[in-house]
Structure 1
Amino acid sequence: MPAFECVLPVRVTDFGPSMHMDNISFQEFVQESRNAFLLDRGLVPGAEGAQLMLVRTMALDYAAPVPFGVTELTMTVEATHIGRKSFTLRHRMRIDDDVVFTADVVLIASNAEDRSEEISPRFRAELESILTEETEEAS
C-alpha cells in the first residue's frame, strides 16, 4: 500500500543559531504530517470512527542535517504495525529524494478519559490503507 505523502513549509524559526534544524522542529513535523493524514482521511474530532491518540514512544533517527534555506519538506506517513489498541506509524522526511529523518511513533487509541480502547473499524481501515508491504498486520 502506498504511504500518505504531504509537503510542509519550513519556517525560519525551525532553525537554531547553528543554522541547523532544531530537534523539536523535527518532532513538530512528525505531528503535522500525522495531522495532515488524519485531516485528509476525515478523521477529525467528532467524525465517525475518529479516535484520540496518545503517543507511547517515539524513536528518532537523524540521517542528515536539514540545511538552512530549505523552504519545504516532503513527509511520508505509513503504518508498520496495527494491533488491537495500538499502532506504529513511520514518518520519513525527505529533501528531494533523500531521506534526512525517520521517526517511528507508537500510538495508543484512547477515549476522553485517557483510557485505551480498541481501534475503531473505520480508523483501522485508514491505517490499513497505509500499511507497509514489508510487515504483516498483528492478529
Structure 2
Amino acid sequence: MTEPGDQRAFTCSVEVRWGDSDRLGHVNNAKVVEYMQEARIKFFRDHLPSRTAVAVRKMEAEFLRPIKDSSAPLRIEVSVLHVGTTSFTIRHTIADRHGSVCAFGDAVLVGFDPANDTARRLSDKEREVLDNYRALTPG
C-alpha cells in the first residue's frame, strides 16, 4: 500500500450517513465501497472531460479498521496506479478524521463506448489527467 503523502492524489471529504452503520455501530463494508465510488465520481467530475464513459471491470477492497459515525468526516484519496491503452487502475484510500487509514481499494476501470457496449481506447486528454494523478511509487 502506498503511504499517505507518497503520491499525487485527488482528495475529497465524505460524511458517514445515518443509515450506513450496522447494529454494532460500524459502517457496513458495502457502504465503504460506495464511499470509494463517491470519491471516484468526484474525481472524474472535477478532472475528466464531461462525456467520459468508463466501466468498472474489477474492484478489490481491504478493510483495515472499523469506520464508525464518529470517524467522520472521512478523507478519501484517489490516485492512479496504472494507465494502459483501454484501462486504468485507481487506488482509493480512506482515512478517518484523525488520519488513520481505515480501508483502501483498487479498481480497474475501462474506457467504455456506450453506443457499442465495448471497450474503447483512452483519449489523450484522459491519459494526461490520469498521469497527473499517478502514484509516485508502486502500489
**TM-score of the superposition, structure 2-length normalised?**
0.88
**Which residue number in structure 1 is paired with residue 31 of structure 2?**
25
Structure 1 stretches lacking a partner, 5+ long: 46-50
Structure 2 stretches lacking a partner, 5+ long: 1-6
What value does the CA root-mean-square deviation take over the aligned residues?
1.6
Query: C-alpha distance in 1, partners of 2:92/2:81?
Result: 10
TM superposition shift of 1:43: 2.9
Alignment of 1:7-18 (within 5 A): 7-18=13-24
1:106 aligned partner, one-letter code = V
Q: Number of matched residues?
A: 131
Choose from 128, 131, 139 the match for 1:128: 131
Query: C-alpha distance in 2, partners of 1:99/1:69?
Result: 14
2:16 aligned partner, one-letter code = V
Identity of aligned residues (%): 27
- 1:73–1:132 Cα change, 3 Å: same
Runs of 4+ with >4 A deviation: none
Choose from 21, 37, 45 the match for 1:39: 45
TM superposition shift of 1:23: 1.4
SS at structure 2 position matched to 1:92: strand
8 Å Cα contact 2:16-2:69 kept in structure 1: no
TM superposition shift of 1:131: 0.2
